[in-house]
Structure 1
Amino acid sequence: MTRRKADLLARASALSPLSAADLTILCDFLYSRTGMQFGESKRYYVDRRVADRMVENDLVRFADYFALLRATPSEAEQLINSFTINETYFYREEHQLACLSNSILPEIIRSKRPGDKVRIWSVPCSSGEEPYSIAIWLLENWGLVDAYNVEIVGSDIDTAIVAEALEANYSRRAVMRLPPELVERYFAPVQGGRIRLIDDLRESVTFTPCNITDTASVSRQGQFDVIFCRNLLIYFDASARVRCMQNLFNSLVPGGYMCLGHSESMARISERFITRRFPEAIVYQRPERV
């Protein structure tokens, strides 16, 4: 630990916890920007991150920090980045990847010709493991991958984590679910015992910042044939989930598919999707005609 970091941690721990009123103000701010809900039950999580940002800005009063937060978009971005959860790994929920190659893509290409574009969106993408997993899986398991112009996009509200995804530099833990031969084929060792995705794979995925609760931010991404939006809705309340699904519904081409996390369901969120039960997974489809 560097001396400066140790000093910052000591100063942050010395700050008083937020008052109940300040906690409410801060959580309302985060909710309006991200759709994520925080409150008294997550006070320690909130206090720690706000204290870190206050120390970083040489402030000791929350009122002064909140004024800075409201007036400075870059500080709001930094705070939001500190609240995002980016735990993932390669080949997470592998059954959905199998569903993509075995069931979803064969249906999609029925209305396409060789050379046509197939767009796949991974949001949130964290540090890139999920969209890169899609690229590796298709290379290994979809025989028609070279017959179509497959475009994979990864997006996240956390701009710092998007930068990490572009670097594609990982610990060995991130590839614990990958067969060893795939690690050897698609990664190269780098300093510190870490590994980096090979250039061809890094260049196969495009990364963009995106807030999926914000309609304008989502619409800038265009439309997709398949969207992977996994393990995000659990952080939203009912209203934010509905808003999110309205945005993602509009981001699917007619007939496009939505994959949610294993603990998530479209029930009580949106009736606009068709539930599809494939052998590998349950997914949700935008109807061909609305």
Structure 2
Amino acid sequence: MTLAVQRAPARAADAPLVTGEFAFAAADFRAIAEIAKAEAGIDLPESKATLVYSRLAKRLRSLGLPNFTEYLDRVHGDEQERGNMIAALTTNVTRFFREPHHFEYLKKNILEPRAAHIRKGGRLRLWSSACSTGQEPYSMALTVLSVFPDARQLDIRILATDLNPNVVAHGKRGLYRNEEVAEVPQALRTKWLEPVAGDADSMRVGEAARALVAFRELNLMGNWPFKGPFDAIFCRNVAIYFDHETQGKIWKRLAGLLADGGDLYIGHSERVSGSAMNILTANGVTSYRKKSDAQR
């Protein structure tokens, strides 16, 4: 985890951190780290210098820039390139039904107990708060369809957000290679995914699942233009990029958007901390449930 990394003593501003195609000094790294923290809450210790260099050297080549000084000038003056920089620094590791126990919890703890209420006109709202290329929210949608095959006719919606516009666009397309959908249970894959004409190596998430998911760009460190409440929120493998103080703030904001009895699912190496634990209680492996008013 980020928090376990010991920070090295500060170096001279012009001291090289990485030897490569472009000069990369301590001052360059610190400037990038400051922008990443301010823009997206990402905590970058100096031990990540090689990773940062390798990710951003590609941007320099793409833009035809000779050094990081000119690149940072571009980043400071160009909002789109700041977004590109943050996108390059974030890791989008995901797959269908990753950490499958969370989807089982969603089905057994949220969907099935609320089934009668939802069928009588009640609402169900789920949020994938760092959706990457869409496998997580579509896994949520397929889990919903396993309980509510007619979900499109019910008041069920899934919000999928990410700060990277490229992965959001990928998710909207709902198109994945055959090896990517291999972990979708066979029964769900057969019923809710469809072949792609002219492309035997890919499958598309079917309309029934895609219709449940609304993809949006969202920076978790910015304003959230919705009020909830959500019956379940997935925020997995995101807080590992934040320092302890920022983690506490994010957990509190997420908990505040959960309905009473709603679940928060987090990554396997994460733990909820701070004041959020006043209103959440552990409810399984990396799963937390919001306490009712009577319990708080």
Asked if TM exceeds 0.5, the reply is yes
How many residues of Structure 1 are paired with residues of Structure 2 in the alignment? 273
Change (3 A) 1:143 1:200: closer
Which AA in structure 2 matches 1:205? V
1:116 is aligned, of 122, 138, 150, to: 122
Equivalent residue for 2:44? 38
Equivalent residue for 1:222? 227
Q: CA–CA distance in 1 between the matches of 2:275 and 2:266?
A: 12
> How far 1:57 moved relative to its partner?
2.0
Which AA in structure 1 matches 2:235? C
2:189 is aligned, of 183, 190, 215, to: 183
Which AA in structure 2 matches 1:287? K
1:172 is aligned, of 172, 178, 183, to: 178
SS in 1 for 2:216: strand
Name the one with the larger helix percent: 1
Calculate percent identity across the aligned residue pairs. 28
Q: How is 1:1-290 mapped onto 2 (pairs within 5 angstroms)?
A: 15-106=21-112, 114-141=120-147, 148-190=154-196, 191=199, 193-214=201-222, 216=223, 218=224, 220-223=225-228, 224-268=230-274, 270-277=276-283, 281=285, 283-289=287-293
Which AA in structure 2 matches 1:270? A
Instruction: Report the TM-score, using the length of structure 1 for normalisation.
Output: 0.84
- Maintained 8 Å contact 1:233/1:241: yes
Q: Which runs of 5+ in 1 are unaligned?
A: 1-12
Which AA in structure 2 matches 1:75? E
Q: Which runs of 5+ in 2 are unaligned?
A: 1-18
RMSD of aligned residue pairs (Cα, Å): 2.5
SS in 1 for 2:277: coil
SS in 1 for 2:263: strand
Change (3 A) 1:109 1:197: closer
- Maintained 8 Å contact 2:112/2:147: no
Q: CA–CA distance in 2 between the matches of 1:148 and 1:179?
A: 24
Equivalent residue for 1:9? none
1:78-114 alpha-carbon deviations (Å, 9 max, x no partner): 1111122111111112211111121233555687772
Change (3 A) 1:115 1:160: same
Change (3 A) 1:136 1:159: same
Which AA in structure 2 matches 1:201? A
- Maintained 8 Å contact 1:168/1:202: yes
Which AA in structure 2 matches 1:238? H
